[in-house]
Chains A and B, each alone.
Chain A
Amino acid sequence: MRIGQFAAGALASLICASALATEPLSSEELSVESMPPKGNHWVYVIDEAFYNEIDSRVRVFDGDTYRHLGQIDAGFNPGVIISPDGKTTAVTTTYFSRGGHGTRTDIVEFTDNSSLAIAGEIVLPTKRAQMQPTYFNLAYAPSGRFAYVAYITPALSFGVLDTANKKVVTEIDTAGCALVIPTGPSAVSSLCDSGRLLTVTLDGTGHEVSRALSDAFFNADSDPIFVQGIPAAGGYTFLSFNGQVYPIDFSGDKPVISSPWPLVNAAERGVWRPGGQQVGAINRRLGRLYVPMHRGGEETHKEGGTEIWVFDLDSHKRLERWPVSAEHLNPVIAIQVTQDDKPLLFTGGEDGTVAVWDAKAGHVRHTEKTLGQSPWFFLTP
């Protein structure tokens, strides 16, 4: 015991002497970081915070350095979108005046992506669609001048927003069709239960000029399409519950709907299917489609993928099947890919794990357990 005390005392003296022999740390200045220049492999992780939904948030994460770069608050059941020029993140959300209860304020908040500081807001009528994030809860016109926000009261309509003057311009009834898909320079399409697209064309002030319905292209009874569209060259691609792929070109004044093609062959149809909350991702440069797939019946359309299937968009051929268990992951509910030629794939698992994959090799490089409790929608800026 005595020997122990002596040894401890001697060690303390040694440490003290050694500390005195070096220069002390210089004083620090408290500062606030600005955002670094945008990297090719950044991802915006939308955490719906399912177990405390009023506290959703967007985490900005670098898939190369694995650094958490910052956060944007997102309130309750948010929609999140990045402006066409990349400078702004817009979040549509709801706040309650007393935290978990009280008067409801529906809002679009704009965040400056160079600082992550709030850069303005538009207060909405209390009608915004409170639901899981998709690309179509809130959308920018290609010019960035207007934005569109989906309303459900439960009547379906949308608001046209003037992003420069931070004002609601008008509300447009969509006759039972849902969500806001930007079409061409100045039109908005919505998905209808009849299997059609409603497209409303706007004038230069954001008011309706005309509207048109497409032919029916899917059947909501026998094989509905997921509302989670996937950004693709010139438009969005939609997947159906049974694994049909519907590419739609939204770059012109009218949407052009291509013939569907299947993710599954005859033996796989009804056995393997896409599922989850963000059900596919496309790298436009490589022409690759990534889809989380699982075995299951019709009622399993929200189940996570046990495998990721990779398709070539030109030939429609399946190139790869990557079982996620081989990468020690739980089934995958959300998927996103970067747009460069050495892309990273991001997946969000049923257990909340975010995985960073090499999107060519099909191997996981890194996992994050605490990026969000329910990180099930990703944007790659």
Chain B
Amino acid sequence: MNPIDRLFEKSSRSLAQRTARRGFLGLLGQVLTGSVLIPLLPIDRVNRAEAAPTKSGGAIGATPKSGSNDPQNCEYWKYCAIDGFLCSCCGGSSHSCPPGTTASPITWIGTCQNPGDGRDYIVSYNDCCGKTSCGNCECNRNEREKPLYRLSRNNDVNWCMANSDANYHCSVSVILGVSEK
């Protein structure tokens, strides 16, 4: 089991012990379905081909478009429905949390198109938790984002809510797999 599978498995179990509601099971199903796809992933070539990083977040309220190869840029393709601070500007990367934080076990899910290979990828937008707001590289994009009543597609709520240290620090976008059409 890869580390991310272990993370999901462990955190989902502990969460399941605390909650037993329909809404949660639906959400969990989506997250777990995504997590087993991880070993099959194609290589994230755009990420590896990144240019020298620059710090540039999107203005609040504006809608940047996909078009950057820089994971510290709000326009980076994986961030198509992210709302918060980019962990890549906070000591983490586009898919890793900064030192000393904890990853949220629950998340919202999106589909973003990688202009590098033309494929649609299912990504999970996890929050990194347990420290106060990072404040760098604010990014708010909302492709296919839905209001709170469709929770698994919502980026307004604090996804650190189920962590033992529930403060929100920053957000990552983790590829779960290729979206099958």
Q: Which residues of A contact B (CB under 8 A)?
A: 50-54, 76-77, 94, 96, 99-102, 104, 126, 129-132, 152-157, 173, 175-179, 190-193, 220, 224-227, 275-276, 296, 299-304, 331, 333, 350, 374
Contacts and interface: CB of A to CB of B under 8 A. Distances in A.
A153 B167 contact: no
A132 B23 contact: no
Contacts of A220: 146-147, 149-150
Contact of A154 (B20, B23, B130, B165): B23
B132 A303 contact: no
Interface in B147-181: 147-151, 156-158, 160-162, 165-168
B70 interface: no
B144 A299 contact: yes
B74 to A, nearest CB: 13
Give the top 10 A-B pairs by smallest Cβ distance, nearest first.
Answer: A155-B21, A100-B132, A130-B158, A350-B61, A304-B61, A51-B135, A178-B149, A299-B143, A176-B23, A131-B157
Nearest to A374: B60
B132 A53 contact: yes
B166 A104 contact: yes
A356 B63 CA distance: 26
A173 B60 CA distance: 34
Contacts of B162: 153-154
Contacts of B106: 154
Contacts of A102: 165
A299 B145 contact: yes
18 contacts: A52-B132, A53-B132, A53-B133, A54-B132, A54-B167, A76-B167, A100-B132, A130-B157, A130-B161, A152-B148, A153-B19, A156-B21, A178-B148, A193-B149, A302-B63, A302-B145, A350-B59, A350-B61
Contacts of A152: 148, 151, 157, 161
B161 A177 contact: no
Interface string B10-32: 00000000111111101100000
A130 B21 contact: no
B160 to A, nearest CB: 8
A130 B135 contact: no
Given A155-B23, A374-B60, 7 more contacts: A53-B167, A101-B132, A129-B148, A152-B157, A154-B19, A157-B21, A333-B61
Nearest to B150: A193
Interface residues of B, number: 45
Most B CB within 10 A of own CB, among A99, A155, A191: A155
A331 B61 contact: yes
A126 B167 CA distance: 13
A173 to B, nearest CB: 7
A333 B62 CA distance: 10
A178 B146 CA distance: 13
B78 interface: no
A157 B24 CA distance: 12
Given A101-B165, A132-B156, A225-B147, A156 B142 contact: no
B60 A227 contact: no
A102 B132 CA distance: 11
B141 interface: yes
A300 B150 contact: no
B148 A131 contact: yes
A40 B146 CA distance: 36
B140 to A, nearest CB: 6
A50 B138 contact: yes
